[in-house]
Structure 1
Amino acid sequence: MHEISKRQHKLLRLLLEQKGFLPVNHFSKILSISGRTLYKDIDELNKALKKRKIEILKRQGKGIFLSKSDLSNDEILKIFGEASTQIDFNQLPLERQIKMAEYLLLRNKKVSYQLLSDEFLVSRTSISNDLDQIQTVIEGCSATIRSDNNGTKVDGNESEIQKAIKQYAYFIIDKSDLTNSYRVQFPSLLFSFLPKDIIKKVSGLLQTNDHFNIDKLSDDHFQSLVLSISIFVLRLQEGFHIEHQDNFLFENVESLKTFFLANELVENLELDNSIKLDSNDFEYLNRQLVAHGFEPRLRDLAIQKEYDAVVRKMIQEMSDSIQVDLTRDEKLYMNILYHLVSMIYRSKLNVPVNNPLLEEIKREYSVLYSTTWLILAGIEKELDIRLTDDEVAFMMIHFQGAIDRLSANRKILIVCPTGIGTSELIANRLKRVFSPQDIVEVVSLRTLYKRDLNKIDLVISSVQLEKIDVPVTYVSPLMSKQDLKKVSATYLDLFYEEEVNDQPFEHLGKIIDSDLIFLNETVATKEQCIKRITQKLLQNDFVTDSFEQAIWDREKLGVTDLPTGAAIPHPSPSTVKESKLVIMTLVKPIRWNFRMINTVLMICVAEKDLKHIKGILSEIYRIVETKKNIDRFIFSKDEEEIVKVLGGQTID
């Protein structure tokens, strides 16, 4: 056996694979050595090969080539002790770079040029070239390879580093000749970078769990999702967690659609007990599922048949209540069905669930949240379940998603120097201008520039902004009448003017009673208001003795005060004997929950009238959706006029 260096072994193997002359720099680049060093290796190899009458030929302008031999490649390699053995891929440039990328990206190791040079037996210049190549691959991910006197490491927050890891994984996949059958396999070369066992486990879970609907995912999307989750799990095992991300509320709400799927996925991954996902990790995992188009699925047709009527009833009632037809949305149907079944299961086993965005949902989606609660209250007794505010909020998210898919809702930001104080005044006044389906959010000036504005339709600001690619309207911090007109004009120019709904109030006319209309009251607190209304209802035997407690129980579930200055408390139907609408206007506004309100519309619906709940909710929604409508239907009229305009019968 002849002794040659490891690098000369690699050069010999490369030459044996060639079918013709190739330039010297072709081999020097692959081996990351200079031309001079390569010629020295060629001379050493020629000395060793001479006895076997084999020679590395050199031709001016053509390069080098290994002469023909009667020996097979394996026989030649066997002479040097390498018969049929695998090449040490860690020593070739690509595989060496993959190993370095693993150190830097996956393990967050700090390395030095000298240590890498010693490990891979190449020059520091070669190491520098390798690191430059890795940086080129992850360019655009914000994570950056940085070197100083203390060593070389990757800088960036966790989500940026995971994005860089994924981009590098795609780089490796692109280097492979594997066909696009990603659902069943990844190229073996990838497993020199990412652990095969994690990828295999994640892929298997997604394909075999009946609740994960991957049928509609393309192979590309499936591959991307497997990579994202595998990288996420690997980084968790290394002790790294996703940083808190400043997202718009509507984006956070979107991510919760797959909350229970994400939770089930984490349980099935059977992570080590020492690995705990915090709220930021969980939100990130949710986002990955949503971003890849994941949807829940129930394969049990018997369960689907059992709850089909209930789900369709819920969707129909919501459609009628908000005057948006959601009945053709098959995705909504399946989401509601899946959620309803899991909600019943949790209720029966008394397994609580927490919605991390509950308070924000109650505050910013108060109308839709309250509508969802009323619809669910109608089926609570039917299904023998106990509602929680968390469950209502989760269910509402599915309806909001369906509205987003169907309606032209706009996403509007209100910008103030700090995002607090006068911003609430501006937000509350401006919500009178916008459609109820519009998503309005207050952000600080600092936060604005940190976020992606591609999904934003309009920005309203009380301070001068740098140029952004979104329409901007400037207003004063005190939101004058002129400011309202300006925003209204901009809104109508950008979007469209809503048609005025002048249809008669068919359902409210049946439950309105002039004896239950209180105008210009002087109650000082929410408690006084509710007690005053309760006493009147009890006096007329319209409600049970537990009615007032039911009101407070409902108030604990979530806000019932709206941005338009109205509150719509609504107790459980089980405490109502006779359906009635109670109206109270106040001389001075009082604080209800989060907002000051001057109008109360208490919706009392008896169980026997639940079949009419969709119409009642729809007509209430028409009144409270804008301050203009509240003034139009209530504040500008006396008791008899209110009864008449809401479709009731006046007594002469």
Structure 2
Amino acid sequence: MDTQYTDSKARRLHIFERLLNYEHLSYQQLSEEYFVSRSSIANDISYIKKLFSKEDLSLTFDNSGTFFAGNEIQVQKLLKRLMLQQEVIANDNYLLTRITDAFRKALNEREFDIPESYIEQIVISIYLIVSRSKKGHTIQLDGKNQLGRFFLEFDKYPIIYDLLKEIENQGIYHFSSEEVQHLTYLIVGSGLRFFLKDEKIPFSFRDRIRKLIQKVSEGLRMELTQDNRLENDLVVHLYQLFLRTGAQTTIVNPLINEIKQMYPSLFGVVWFALSDFCKPYQLSLTDDEVGFVTIHFQAAIERLKKMNKILFVCPNGIGTSSYVSAKIRRILPDVNSVETVSTAKLNHMDLSDVDFIISTVEIKDNRKKPIVTISPMVTANDMKKIMNYYIDLIVAKEKQNTKNFTFNFEMNETVHKNVEFTNFSSKQEALSYLLLKQNFTSKTARDKFIASVWEREELQSTYLDNGFAIPHGNPEFIEESSVSILILDKAITWGNQLVDVIALLLIREKDVEKVEPVMNLLMRGIEDKTWFISKMMEVKE
């Protein structure tokens, strides 16, 4: 073996590439080929397993060694994620550039509107099909139209082929019919709003979207069901999710870590609600997809947020007041109201619903409301000063909304009797233990709930992140809402991940508002597991 691979990073990536080419590799073989110890190879394989787990994939081993037993679509899905996250780079930058230029040319000529980040993901998918095919690795579809029930318009197939034709015209690659079909799902599922006709969407699907919004609204104790834009945005996004599922691909969310950190409870509530939404369609969700839906909901929440009131203090008459008020409304269009008052009236007003005060004269107020003093002519500097106060106020409110999680009495009462520190050797043992210790008045209800939990696990792993799993079942069979938390001494295998914290959720439909504080707790724990374990030890005592 070439000594260029004795560097650990280069060696790991080379072994990773060989596994993606479906080689069977034994530790002894790799140790001899790369001139390193078996323990070094073991560390390399451990690192590579973590790469595979990013797409919930795993390696297999037998007498011939370690290998990947999946299919080419899964390989390309994993490579796309790693390329977008810049953990691996393209082997042929010239080919990638040619495909990028050709695809952009086709989009521009047809004036298709598609987000820039999605273009990058589509181009990488095309590049992987081309580059892997040249190495003899082609995708194989199962021959079944799995999305017929998801109202895909197959008359759009020629339009996608027309986009890909530019790549063929430039002599880059000739796509097979299976590759065009695969890319049809992928491209339409990656943001081409042109293909989605509202009248083609069954009422039943839109009705499920409304129920999803209702469930999240109840979980957040916030009214979002009247937001038509939220409904339409989710119809488009979740429709496209079906198409991405048909292509066995996903979209990588570059902001997923920031979304989890900034909106942990919202992410948790959306994740919980989406798991029920997707169950009838047998769809498996990634954190990336949940993150995008979370942003749609956060956008709706932002639309609900309005400034309370701005007071404008002016002693110079109605004409000046109207002029300044018009200027303020021009630079702060989302403000609910701008009320003009005199200096004398200000001293006797209730300012509880006032965000800040703008004045053309110096005033003193001891009620700690921000005061911006400006010229009666509202100069450019005055406008900047108002905007700066406005921005500072918004930032302050955001910090207040994302302040550190605190345990309230209700949460303490919910959790402290249901926290255990112990050890189990398997998912089956750990989850069965948690399920069997729950209180049910009838064996029938218990058996139905347990069956619903395992059914969900078969459909989609309830692993969330950082060693946390959140199993849950059909709320129809739950008699009393609770959460049971099991903290293990040693992590166990949970699908293709390792888990050492299991939180079994039992939330009745009528108690859905309890989801937010529970998910907020768990998301904070995912962010800081040491804090979480310490807090669980504290509340158990």
Q: TM-score range by the shorter chain?
A: 0.3 to 0.5
Which structure's relative contact order is higher, taking Cα pairs within 8 Å and 6+ residues apart? 2
Bigger fraction of residues in helix: 2
